[in-house]
Amino acid sequence: MLKLTGYISETQYQYPTNDNEFSTYCKNVKSGSKSTKEYSQQCLQQNPSGKSILMIMSYSFIQSIKKYCSRRVPKIRNELIEIAKCVNPNRKHLAKCWQIYLNRMNLIFNVEPNNNKFPYLCCITDLFSTCMAEKLRNYGNPICTEKIINQFQQFYGSTMGNVMNFACENFEDQQDRCEKMIEKQQEKLTTGSIKPVNWRTPFPILIEFFQTL
């Protein structure tokens, strides 16, 4: 799964900066897609909702990455190379946003009432993207222009794009409500009533979450 998500602080899954690295990256994506499909078939037969969510996320990312792995449009491949030059050296800073995101996502099981869970999920995902952009602005090298940062947000968002579009389509105007819920749930994490998660990918949390709906 890490091959698909490109876990933001895993150096072995850095974004490609040349043709040789592109070859390895695209092979990892293909291998990750196959592993994800096998996992969903072998381990999620009793969890149809989780299986569907995982496959949607995998499909969303694969469809997005195809254009970067194709040699037909060099301009698009060069776009990811420029993103890599900005993002790869700053992964340790972005990893902080990632851990906050996973911790907040783990708190979703404590959100009450149940109809607040989706807007909460939408809000923490939006804040995750904002956090990464701010880190790149504060710590990034000169190549981290606003254009590159925006392209990275769009690229990384494709990992969960279809799922989040499905989940968040009716909550565009509930930002204030979500932020209040985050503050409320964050208090539980601060007081130690719930422990931070150890997952390096949101897949297990999302699978369990959708199973409870």
How many structural domains comprise the chain? Answer: 1
**What is the token pair recorded at 26?**
């695209």
Average pLDDT across the chain, whole number: 76
pLDDT computed for residue 1 by the predictor: 47
Per-residue pLDDT at 164 exceeds 90? no
Task: Report the alpha-carbon distance of residue 65 to residue 211 in Å, rounded.
Answer: 28
92 vs 137, residue with greater confidence: 137
Choose the weakest-confidence range: 47-61, 99-113, 131-145. 47-61
Per-residue pLDDT at 145 exceeds 90? yes
Closest CA to 116 of 197, 69, 183, 200: 183
Average pLDDT of the segment spanning 170-198: 67
Cα–Cα distances (Å) from 173 to 37, 81, 119, 178, 186, in that order, read 35, 35, 10, 10, 22
pLDDT computed for residue 64 by the predictor: 76
Per-residue pLDDT at 3 exceeds 50? no
Query: In sequence order, what are the residues at sequence separation of 6 or more whose Cβ sits closer than 8 angstroms to the Cβ of residue 177?
Result: 116, 119
Per-residue pLDDT at 32 exceeds 50? yes
Q: Which domain holds residue 190?
A: 2-211
